[in-house]
Amino acid sequence: MKIYNTLSKEKEEFVPIEEGKVRMYVCGPTVYNYIHIGNARPMIVFDTVRRYFEYAGYEVNYVSNFTDVDDKIIKKAVEEGTTAEEVSQRFIKECKKDMADMNVLPATTHPLATQEIPGMIEMISDLIDKGYAYVVSDGTVYFRTRRFSDYGKLSHKNLDELEAGHRSINVVGSEKEDDFDFVLWKPKKDGEPYWDSPWCQGRPGWHIECSVMAKRYLGDEIDIHAGGEDLIFPHHENEIAQSEAANGVTFSKYWMHNGFLNIDNKKMSKSLGNFFTVREIGEKYDLQVLRFFMLQAHYRSPLNFSAELMEAAKNGLDRICTAAANLCYQVDHAKTEEFTQEEQQYLEEAHTYIDKFKAAMEDDFNTADAISAVFELVKFCNQHTDEASSRAYVSGLYDILKQLCDVLGIIVSPQEEMLDADIEAMIQQRQEARKNKDFAKADAIRDALLAQGIILEDTREGVKWKKA
């Protein structure tokens, strides 16, 4: 299996730190609003990478964080007259719903930055002790960027050529020793959330958060660190500097970055009116279509989003799902059970599409070519099955198609419709939860029904429901 490593700018053979196991960290969203389709691309891409590793027999420890303390979150809380915690918790919940609708598997761990503050204080203290960080008079702690001799190795730029342009949380003050030094800890401002530290009451810089969460849940050394290519500098560059300075070992062996997403060949921007949330796309399309669209391009390539391309993706996905539905129908209505000799030969031939699929995925997770192999399999199934096919044969073909689609996170298995009695039973459980003031459980039941296409309406006459 070969992976393109941003660090070396080459495809490299994947050799895990620990045989049979993969430690993978993917930078998650800052939760101040609904996630947009730019956020969705790394979620879908690296979920598919994770799925393939598991398909290949690896045990994957997959960690993806939520940044739940940030200037944008605080700004949103001020606008709404609420707390940063309320804003972040609300949009974490909404993000998880969108992820589920895109069939993105939950991470092994979804750490929250605000729950890892002690680890951040510990790492910052260690960096100060080792001379890699310093404190100025107001309690701000900076990282001495030039002290880390390998700075720039990920973005492949000389430090003197890099611009010291950082996120808005980075404080540029006269006491900085160097313009390139970046913030590890910053003092609080009025009305902002803060934590006690040895230097001042304040909060961490953005970059230190991921270094600490990766260390806690994956160890000092990890196999793969991934995210959008916009994170290469400064975020991932700064993560490397902090982590390797503190831990004294290589932070991540492989760095994977997905390409940018454009809208109608233009950069996505609210000012241009071409900014779309996943939730908005979900009002027009099943989010399986969005997932399929994202995977039709190689993850490192720029991807252009348009209504025409989404329609094409919908049509392509329909072809696959229709083929799967036809196979299921033939399984249920087969007149014979066992293979014929000709069917056994056909099934062996169908396995060649598994080989094509695997070859594509093992070449830097080329999902575009993997999907081409699925389409070839669909064509084969359509040409070599009919009402006379045996149950064993069409079951074998369906299992191959479902197996490959599962790796891509594409759902082809028929969804069983809930019985009215089951719906009523869940509504009763929700009513009991509300009576007991267990509103979290009540909301969870409502969300579970919604995921099944069941919409609840609370009326004076009681709870009414309908199918979407």
Write out the two tokens for 372.
Answer: 């081409």
Write out the two tokens for 129.
Answer: 């002790």
Tell me the Ramachandran region of residue 205: left when phi exceeds 0, alpha when psi lies from -120 to 50, beta otherwise. Answer: beta
Q: What count of Cα atoms within 13 Å lies in the side-chain half-sphere of residue 274?
A: 15
Helices (H), 102-249: 117-129, 206-218, 237-247
Helices (H), 296-390: 307-333, 341-362, 367-383
CATH 3.30.2130.30 for domain 16-136+204-278: no
Q: Is the pLDDT of residue 165 over 60?
A: no
Please identify which residue in the block is written with the tokens 């992820």: 99
When the pLDDT of each residue in the chain is averaged and rounded to a whole number, the result is 92
Nearest Cα to 141, choosing from 178, 184, 172?
184
C-alpha distances out from residue 127 to 186, 188, 201, 232, 288, Å: 15, 21, 19, 22, 45
Percentage of the chain beyond pLDDT 70 is 94
* CATH code of the region 308-408: 1.20.120.640
- Please name the helix (run of DSSP H) or strand (run of DSSP E) that holds residue 75, with its range, or none: helix 71-80
Least confident of 129-133, 136-140, 174-178: 174-178
Instruction: State the pLDDT confidence band at 148, using cuts at 50, 70 and 90.
Output: very high
Q: CA-based diameter of the chain, in Å?
A: 83
Q: Is the pLDDT of residue 171 over 50?
A: no
Q: Tell me the C-alpha distance between 35 and 42, whole Å.
A: 12
Percentage of the chain beyond pLDDT 90 is 79
All structural domains of the chain with their residue ranges: 16-136+204-278, 308-408, 420-467
- Helix (H), strand (E), coil (C) string for 313-339: HHHHHHHHHHHHHHHHHHHHHCCCCCC
Strand 222-228 to strand 303-305: parallel, antiparallel, or no bridges (unpaired)? unpaired
Q: Tell me the C-alpha distance between 108 and 102, whole Å.
A: 17
pLDDT digits (tens, 9 = 90+) for 199-246: 999 999 999 999 999 999 999 999 999 999 999 999 999 999 999 999
Nearest Cα to 292, choosing from 274, 310, 269, 266?
310
**Which among 216-225, 260-269, 328-337, 450-459 has the top mean pLDDT?**
216-225
Sheet strands (E) in 147-208:
182-187, 202-204
Write out the two tokens for 321.
Answer: 């799902």
Q: Tell me the C-alpha distance between 352 and 8, whole Å.
A: 33
Write out the two tokens for 62.
Answer: 């997959």
How confident is the model at residue 194, as a pLDDT? 96
Q: What is the Cα gyration radius of the chain? A: 25
Q: Is the pLDDT of residue 288 over 50?
A: yes
How confident is the model at residue 414, as a pLDDT? 65
How confident is the model at residue 419, as a pLDDT? 65
Are residues 214 and 63 in contact, defined by beta-carbon separation less than 8 angstroms? yes
